[in-house]
Amino acid sequence: MQLIQKNKGHLENKTTNMKQHLYLIILLLFCFSCEKEDSDNEFIIKIKDSKVNCSGYEGQTECYLVQRGNLIGTQQWEYFYEQIEGFNYQSGFIYTLKVKSVKVENPPMDAPWIKYFLIKELSKE
């Protein structure tokens, strides 16, 4: 009889430990499945001193030439088709900006699915 009670107590401890581990796993999954913080959507972008003609969502338009990430400081520039809300561009200056990107939920078919917002103008040369 004592052996049965001893085994029963051992099984209860194992069950309690398993429940604690399960709760911990669920908690970790919940934490890591949440959306990333806004700071993950922030980046530095360098804008060239003149715009170029390009074809975008609205047909023929003017685009920024930009550098970001590993391109900053190189001779390579990429087309940037979107507007940056809060940014007042003046031709003739090279800008370094801190920008935030925000995903647009259910954008119209001919519209961008990411919007860009100026956080801070870091330099204007």
79 shares a domain with 27 = no
116 shares a domain with 61 = yes
66 shares a domain with 18 = no
116 shares a domain with 78 = yes
Q: List the domain range (segments joined by +) for residue 96.
A: 38-124
Contact assessment for residue 65 and residue 80, using Cβ atoms and an 8 Å cutoff: yes
67 shares a domain with 48 = yes
pLDDT at 28: 43
51-78 confidence digits (pLDDT tens): 999 886 667 889 999 999 999 999 999 9
pLDDT at 6: 56
54 shares a domain with 23 = no
106 shares a domain with 68 = yes
How many domains is the chain partitioned into structurally? 2
pTM confidence score: 0.66
80 shares a domain with 95 = yes
Residues 6 or more apart whose CB falls under 8 angstroms from that of 74 comprise: 67
pLDDT at 55: 84
82 shares a domain with 56 = yes
Contact assessment for residue 77 and residue 63, using Cβ atoms and an 8 Å cutoff: no
Q: Are strands 52-56 and 59-68 parallel, antiparallel or unpaired?
A: antiparallel
At position 25, the amino acid (one-letter code) is I
53 shares a domain with 11 = no
108 shares a domain with 71 = yes
28 shares a domain with 47 = no
Running along the chain, 125 residues long, what does each successive block of 10 average in pLDDT? 56 58 46 50 97 81 95 96 96 98 89 93 97
User: What is the percent of the chain with per-residue pLDDT over 90, rounded to a whole number?
Assistant: 55
